[in-house]
Amino acid sequence: MGMASILAELPDMWRSALTAHVPDPQGRCWACRDANGVAATWPCLTREVAEEAKYLYEGGLPGTFGGRHAARTAEHRHA
Ligand SMILES: [Zn+2]
């Protein structure tokens, strides 16, 4: 069982992660900064896991979340 499957059972967790892990104007994650102020490139790993957790929570099948491209396709379907 992956991290996203565990997180899917904890909607408060992935919701707060999706709120915190957003891109700054340089395309880096606001939340993922180390002590030197170096930020992870966005979307960071936490963001991707949180998005997969949301996908599973909303009824997606485990293992069918294909990452960034799949997420974009899903957004188009909703729009
Ligand atoms: Zn992050």
User: What is the per-residue pLDDT for 79?
Assistant: 42
55 Cα to the center of ligand 1, angstroms: 18
**Span 55-66, average pLDDT:** 90
**Which residues have C-beta under 5 Å from ligand 1, the single-atom ion?**
21, 29, 31-32, 44, 46
Number of domains composing the chain: 1
Q: pLDDT tens digits, residue range 35-45?
A: 888 899 999 99
Using the structure block, give the residue that is written with the tokens 């909607």: 11
Locate 17 and state its tokens: 């992660």
Question: 30 C-alpha to center of ligand 1: Å?
Answer: 6
For residues 63-74, average pLDDT: 63
Using DSSP, state whether 29 is helix, strand or coil: strand
Two tokens at 68? 């960034």
Parent domain of 42 = 3-78
Identity of residue 27: G
Q: What is the pTM of this model?
A: 0.75
